């Protein structure tokens, strides 16, 4: 009996890792093209139920393309306007509070001297909390997203093309030829369903959190509460760290406007709202739609941000779901990998 020769497992892992690195590096180099393509795909999936509803009710063929396209245009133009206004406001806010910041620095230095803490240590800590640096980072984040969204011509053309091909694509997936790729078809359908569910639930609860944040900031007297509410809604799509990004600007403004007490109240309100809405209520509606463990979610955030920048941070979950559908769910032998990335053992109810 001859032994079965196979490729060593370690070599397979190394080859797969090298292929992933080369692929991601290539995607990063052409991120200006891939970013809008992936954004258009997610937007088309988000508005697909509109096309399905119109088709079910016998609407004319041209409306199956025009209605989703108009909805996407409305979303894109609204996002461009919001991000442009936010970037302009954040760029002008920091200089207006320079005097208040200097006063806080002096008070902190005096308190540190009374406690026996060296001035050099205090200055180093203050540099890390400089609101100018924080606002510069947030302005860069908003500007990075704005650059992507301002590629409206390319995005609109891509959305239009995808909407025109949607019916043909659906027919291909439901044809007899697709039966030979049943696992892939099932994985793509699951990806589309889970992505829509994730977007809808995240948007609804993001609006709830944003409205509550705006009310809390308005009561506490923090400037531009509506702007920070919109920022909280946008950063709601960023897993793990989005909440912190949305909290930093109003907390700093609370410190500059009303002192440490206001800052603590802002942080407490954000923590309470986020814990109740996003940690207790939202998971009951979202359920297992994401199908990604906390560790995989955080790693996907890092990877997609590295590849596509700020847009990758916003689309980290949908893009990870797409990668899971193509690489894991479409392979019948990949059940163990699906259990690994979802953090759920086979048979526990998660796909």
For the chain, the structural domain boundaries read 30-342
Residue carrying structure tokens 């960023």: 238
Give the pLDDT of residue 116.
59
- Could you read off the pLDDT of 293-302 as tens digits, one per residue? 778 888 888 8
Q: Model's pTM, two decimal places?
A: 0.77
Give the pLDDT of residue 296.
83
Distance CA 145, CA 161 (A): 23
Is-contact 202 237, C-beta < 8 A?
Answer: yes
**Average pLDDT, stretch 212-241?**
86
**Average pLDDT, stretch 305-312?**
86
**Average pLDDT, stretch 271-285?**
79
**Average pLDDT, stretch 62-84?**
80
- Cβ within 8 Å of residue 266, ≥6 positions away: 216, 217, 220, 222, 247, 250, 251, 254
Least confident piece of the model among 90-104, 150-164, 267-281, 312-326: 90-104
Residue carrying structure tokens 């948007």: 203
- As a whole number of Å, the end-to-end CA separation of the chain is 40
Strand, coil or helix: 238 = coil
- Cβ within 8 Å of residue 219, ≥6 positions away: none
Q: Which of 305, 298, 303, 238 is nearest to 274 (CA)?
A: 238
**Average pLDDT, stretch 110-132?**
57
31 pLDDT more than 90? no
Structure tokens at 10: 């370690």
Give the pLDDT of residue 70.
87
- Cβ within 8 Å of residue 51, ≥6 positions away: 64, 65, 67, 68, 163, 166
Q: Which of 320, 322, 290 is nearest to 303 (CA)?
A: 320
Work out the pLDDT band at 186, boundaries 50, 70, 90: confident
Mean of pLDDT over the chain? 77
Distance CA 176, CA 158 (A): 28
Least confident piece of the model among 145-154, 220-229, 236-245: 145-154
Side-chain half-sphere CA neighbours of 339 within 13 A:
11
**Which of 159-173, 270-284, 317-331 has the highest average model confidence (pLDDT)?**
317-331
262 pLDDT more than 60? yes
76 pLDDT more than 80? no
Give the pLDDT of residue 328.
83
226 pLDDT more than 80? yes
Is-contact 234 178, C-beta < 8 A?
Answer: no
Give the pLDDT of residue 1.
43
Strand, coil or helix: 205 = helix
162 pLDDT more than 50? yes
| DSSP for 11-73, written as a single string | HHHHHHHHHHHHHHHHHHHTHHHHHHHHHHHHHHHHHHHHHHHHHHTT--TTHHHHHHHHHHH
3 pLDDT more than 60? no
Would residue 221 be called left, alpha or beta, if left means φ above 0 and alpha means ψ between -120 and 50 degrees? left
Q: What's 333's DSSP letter?
A: G
Regarding predicted confidence, which is higher, 332 or 121? 332
**Which of 34-48, 99-113, 120-134 has the highest average model confidence (pLDDT)?**
34-48
Number of H helices, E strands in the chain: 16, 0
The CA-atom distances, in angstroms, between 183 and each of 134, 165, 169, 294 are: 47, 22, 16, 26
**% of the chain residues with pLDDT over 70:** 72
Is-contact 291 321, C-beta < 8 A?
Answer: yes
Distance CA 197, CA 56 (A): 20
Give the pLDDT of residue 192.
87
Regarding predicted confidence, which is higher, 194 or 138? 194
For residue 170, the surrounding DSSP H or E stretch is: helix 152-173
Give the pLDDT of residue 215.
93
């Amino acid at each position: 009996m001859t032994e079965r020769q196979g490729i060593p497992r370690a070599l397979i892992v190394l080859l797969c890792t090298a292929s992933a690195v080369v692929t991601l590096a290539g995607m990063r180099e052409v991120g200006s093209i891939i970013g809008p393509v992936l954004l258009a795909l997610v937007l088309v999936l988000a508005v697909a139920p509109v096309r399905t509803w119109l088709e079910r009710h016998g609407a004319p063929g041209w409306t199956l393309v025009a209605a989703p396209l108009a909805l996407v245009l409305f979303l894109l133009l609204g996002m461009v306007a919001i991000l442009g206004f936010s970037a302009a406001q954040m760029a002008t806010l920091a200089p207006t509070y320079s005097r208040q910041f200097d006063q806080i620095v002096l008070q902190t230095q005096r308190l540190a001297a009374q406690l026996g803490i060296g001035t050099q240590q205090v200055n180093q800590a203050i540099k890390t909390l400089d609101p100018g640096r924080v606002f510069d980072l947030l302005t860069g984040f908003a500007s990075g997203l704005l650059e992507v969204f301002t590629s409206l011509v390319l995005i609109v053309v891509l959305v239009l093309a995808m909407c025109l091909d949607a019916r043909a694509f659906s027919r291909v997936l439901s044809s007899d030829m697709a039966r030979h790729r049943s696992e892939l078809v099932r994985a793509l359908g699951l990806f589309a369903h889970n992505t829509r569910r994730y977007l809808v639930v995240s948007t609804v609860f993001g609006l709830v959190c944003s409205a509550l944040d705006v009310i809390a900031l308005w009561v506490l007297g923090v400037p531009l509460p509506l702007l920070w509410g919109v920022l909280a809604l946008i950063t709601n799509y960023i897993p793990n760290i989005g909440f912190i990004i949305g909290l930093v600007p109003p907390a700093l403004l609370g410190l500059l406007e009303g002192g440490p007490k206001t800052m603590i109240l802002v942080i407490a309100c954000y923590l309470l709202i986020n814990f109740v809405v996003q940690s207790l209520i939202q998971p009951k509606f979202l359920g297992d739609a994401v199908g990604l463990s906390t560790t995989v979610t955080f790693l996907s955030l890092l990877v997609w941000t590295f590849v596509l920048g700020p847009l990758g941070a916003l689309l980290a979950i949908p893009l990870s779901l797409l990668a899971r559908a193509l690489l894991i769910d479409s392979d019948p032998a990949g059940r163990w990998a699906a259990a690994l990335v979802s953090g759920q053992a086979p048979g526990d109810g998660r796909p």
